[in-house]
Amino acid sequence: MTIILTESIPPAIRGLLKRWFIEPRANVFVGSVNARTREKTIAYIRRNAPNLKMLVVYDDLNCQGYTVLTFGTPTRTLTRHCGLQLILENPEDLIR
């Protein structure tokens, strides 16, 4: 299973994603694609919309069972702690 969340996606990229994914909500794409299709799709998006904010979550063989990737400058920060991937919603609150 692969989940792609985007912000302000161009129509051409949306059309490409709808080939392999369903769009249950605006800018949320869900599908079961193999690793090669996922990687080629992400590479295409990054080439044709380099400033697009994107979060990708997919099944993986690790202790969490999934991997999270971020592209662009997302509103939330992805971090690793003790081998786990975590998302910080307000990282500036930790500094105070």
| CA–CA dist 41, 37 (Å, integer) | 6
Q: pTM for the full model?
A: 0.80
The full set of domains in the chain, from first to last, is 2-95 (3.30.70.240)
User: Cβ contacts of residue 13 below 8 Å, gap of 6+?
Assistant: 6, 45, 48, 49, 52
Q: Residues 38-71: pLDDT tens digits?
A: 999 999 999 998 888 899 999 998 888 899 888 8
pLDDT of residue 95: 57
Residue 82 banded pLDDT, cuts 50, 70, 90:
confident
Q: Which of 11-20, 30-39, 70-79 has the lowest mean pLDDT?
A: 70-79
22-31 CB contacts, 8 Å cutoff, 24+ apart: 28/3, 28/4, 29/3, 29/4, 29/5, 30/1, 30/2, 30/3, 30/4, 31/1, 31/2
Average pLDDT over the chain reads 87
